[in-house]
Homo-oligomer: A and B are copies of this chain.
Amino acid sequence: MLPRLDLAAVWLAATASVASAQTYRRFGTCPSLGCVIPPDQQDFLPGQEFDIRFEVHAPKNGSEAFNNGVPDEKFTATISKDGGRPRSIAEFFKLRSEPSLEKWTFSWFEDLFAEDAKTPSVVNVASKAYRRVALYEPGIYTVTLNYFSGKKTTAEWTVRPLATKKRAKNVIFFIGDGMTTNMITAARLLAHKTVNGKFQTLLSLDEFPVLGHQMTHSIDTFITDSANSASALYTGHKSTVNAMGVYADTSPDPQDDPKVETIVEMLFRIWGSAWGAVSTAFIADATPIALSGHSRLRSQYGVLIDQALNGVQNYSWTKTDGPDAYFGGGADQFIAGPGSYQGKDYYAEFANKGYSVSLNKTSLLSAPNDKKALGIFCKNNLPVWIDRHIFPENLEINNDPSGAAKPAKDLPGLKEMTLKAVDILHNRGGKEGFFLMSEAASIDKQMHALDYDRALGDLLELDDTIRATIAKLKQLRILDDTLIVVSADHGHGFDVFGSSDTKYFDAQEDERSKRNAIGVYQNSGLSQYTEPKPGVSYGTGANFPMNWDPRYVLAAGVGAAPDRREDFGIGATPRAPTTSRGGEAYVNDKDRPSGFVVNGTLPTSESQGVHSLTDVPVYARGPCQETFGGTYNNIEVFYKIANCLGLAHGRNVTEGAGKSRGNGKGKGRD
């Protein structure tokens, strides 16, 4: 065997150094023992409220062991603006008193060897948190933490320029969860026909005038999840995997991490506008809930639903009146019981605050447009577009949002939910307009399941929804006042590489021969999904395939997957590529039974596909569209939208503004 590279021989020397820690780290945003949170190089919208935390770490053992594991409890911290005089945090922010000292202990593994050997490194921490402050003047702020008599950690924070003028009355932010350019290309091929290389119709996305790319990485890892990437889009602050609306700290409490104000909190505080969220996921899922959520752990679904309605409860914090329209799945957090916060009935909690509550499409469509509206249409995620339209037999599961043991079948799609939300938000926002986030969640969820057809079906549903929303805005005469942004929160490494002749595939007996059913390059041919098939009619309209199951199907794959079978055709049931044995994922023999086995390249504990690195596209039209071209970090999406909404204020705009609309000055507001 050839050795791995010779120039790798110096590895051993570096192994003991923490700089090489990667799989696990003591604290991703804090390579030193003194931690300023928000850390170095963070940006702020003028007036955006946030918390500050300082931590001093004393590792008891491991490569960083220090001071016998006793942290410095007498650390001090200062802040200065543009090189001016450093002042204590309490003085600078005119706080009435110093916060009390907190102490805790946590442990971590320095690498996979340490984990295998069960030898954690233990760290004792001393900490203070300064809550609910804001920086109003644009400039550079330097925060210095002094600890262990002589050690210093410095963080530079940038407060961006002011932008107090509202250029867009309304913003609709569509998020295709996990949606990449590659998937958009594949969806176009499924639903739109070409003649001699020319598409006869196009995606709605293809008609957007401005295109950009955003970088999705976390604050401390290059692969993100949907919580912290949504949070970056909504707050302008990146965070850590599984966190939203906060910078992660190392404390055991997932609800005490330093918070940052979100776009809808600011929009309500400053302008009193209406806001809403629509998702095909359970509504407590990361992308919708991060609009209002502040938690180190996205899995705290119950608390997060309570925050959406009532705001943060354990600290003084910006409150909204709750969403004006809130539609999706996830009855589990609303039915009184183990899934809901404190076991309470959140249908009742919302109703008590003046919400109409809809549990099916019929009820949704007839809900009044002048009341706040909650619509929860099933347990868990909404069934995907393909199952709703092509395989309705898959709806026969006990997911009724009432909790009754029956299927939820009177289901709205993303389009119905979004159009209804626009009606309500437009009515309730009045002259102050609205912010709506509409998420096609199962692009991601079905990509995780390697069920490309179901993922792309939901992408086409998103595109169809965008088209219908533009028509709706035109009809309401607010298209020109509305900034529409379409983007994603991260990618999956998906692409199409050819077509597969399913007839030939099925006729082959051995696994290698099946692969020869695939046509690449000149043998890829054209999409047969756009050709009518005798006897097949789904009634799904012009923006969807005429035939989801042609003889020649798209051959596609992802860059990383668990062990599984592949046959490239559509599955009659939602895909579950693996089964679990002893915590390890193995090929599910019931999935794609006529396919061939492919061994994966993911950790054997991963039962599904995973997120990928790629920049994702940003489409924009409407006021401020010209600011969305080129390539930028995901936090810039927040700044572009926030500045277009005039949220960057140089003075403390109190909740009074929001209340003014709440008090009846806004048109149609109760």
Contact = CB atoms under 8 A, between A and B. Distances in A.
Interface in A144-181: 180-181
Given A198-B633, A612-B182, A633-B197, A526 B5 contact: no
A631 B559 contact: no
A498 B610 contact: yes
A508 to B, nearest CB: 9
B631 A206 contact: yes
Interface in A544-579: 549-552, 555-560, 566-567, 569-570, 572
A122 to B, nearest CB: 20
A365 interface: no
Contacts of A590: 2
A471 interface: no
Contact of A615 (B181, B232, B517, B567): B181
B522 A611 contact: no
Interface stretch (A50-58, A405-413, A487-495): A487-495
A663 interface: no
Interface string A221-247: 111110000001000001011100000
B185 A493 contact: no
B612 A523 contact: no
Contacts of A202: 631
Contacts of A501: 22-23, 111-112
A133 B439 CA distance: 52
A315 interface: no
A330 interface: no
B549 A5 contact: yes
Contact of A209 (B557, B629, B635): B629
Contacts of A197: 41, 217-220, 232, 238, 633, 635
A7 interface: yes
Nearest to A12: B503
Interface stretch (A301-309, A367-375, A394-402, A598-606): A598-606
A519 B20 CA distance: 14
Contact of A223 (B238, B504, B520, B569): B520
A389 to B, nearest CB: 13
A213 B211 contact: yes
Copies assembled: 2
A6 interface: yes
A24 B495 CA distance: 22
Interface in A630-650: 630-633, 635
A517 to B, nearest CB: 7
Nearest to A635: B197
A222 B521 contact: no
A404 interface: no
B614 A195 contact: no
B25 A112 contact: no
A69 interface: no
B241 A219 contact: no
Contact of A603 (B506, B515, B560): B515
B40 A611 contact: no
B223 A524 contact: yes
A613 B496 contact: yes
B558 A603 contact: no
A527 interface: yes
